[in-house]
Amino acid sequence: MEGSLNVLGAGLAYGLAAIGPGLGIGIVGGKAVEAMARQPEMAGKVQTTMFIAIAFTEALALLGFVLALILSA
Partner 1 sequence: MFVGVAYAAEEGGSAISVVPVLSEIWPSIIAFVILFLLLKKFAFGPISNTLDKRAATIKESLEKAEETKVEAERMLEEYKAQMAEARGEAGKVIEQGRKVAESMKAEIVAQANKDAESIVAKAHEAMETEKKAAIAELQASVADLSVAVAGKLIGEKLSADEHARLIEKYVAEVGSLNDN
Partner 2 sequence: MDQFGDKLASKLHHYSVLPWNDVYGSVEAAEAFVLTNYIFFLIISFVVTLGFMLLAARKLDMVPSGIGNVAEAGYEFIRNMCNEAMGKEGQKYAPFIATLFFFILFSNLIGLIPGALPGTGTIGVTATLAVMVFVLYNFIGFKKHGFIGYLKSFVPSGIREMGWGGKLTLGVFVFVLEVVGHFLRPLTLAVRLFANMFAGGMILGIFGIFVVIGVAQLSAGGFAIAGLSTVMLLIMYAFKLFVGFIQAYVFALLTSVYIGGALHADEH
Asked if 69 touches partner 1 (CB under 8 A), the answer is yes
Q: Is 12 helix (H, G, I), strand (E, B) or coil?
A: helix
Shortest Cβ 64–partner 1 spacing (Å):
12
Residues of this chain that interact with partner 2 (CB under 8 A) are 45, 48, 51-52, 55, 58-59, 62-63, 65-66
Radius of gyration of the chain (CA): 17
Taking CB within 5 to 8 Å according to partner kind, which of partner 1, partner 2, none is near residue 73?
Answer: partner 1
* Residue 66: CB minimum distance to partner 1, A: 6
Rounded to whole angstroms, how far apart are CA atoms 9 and 24? 23
**Interatomic CA distance for residues 57 and 72, integer angstroms:** 24
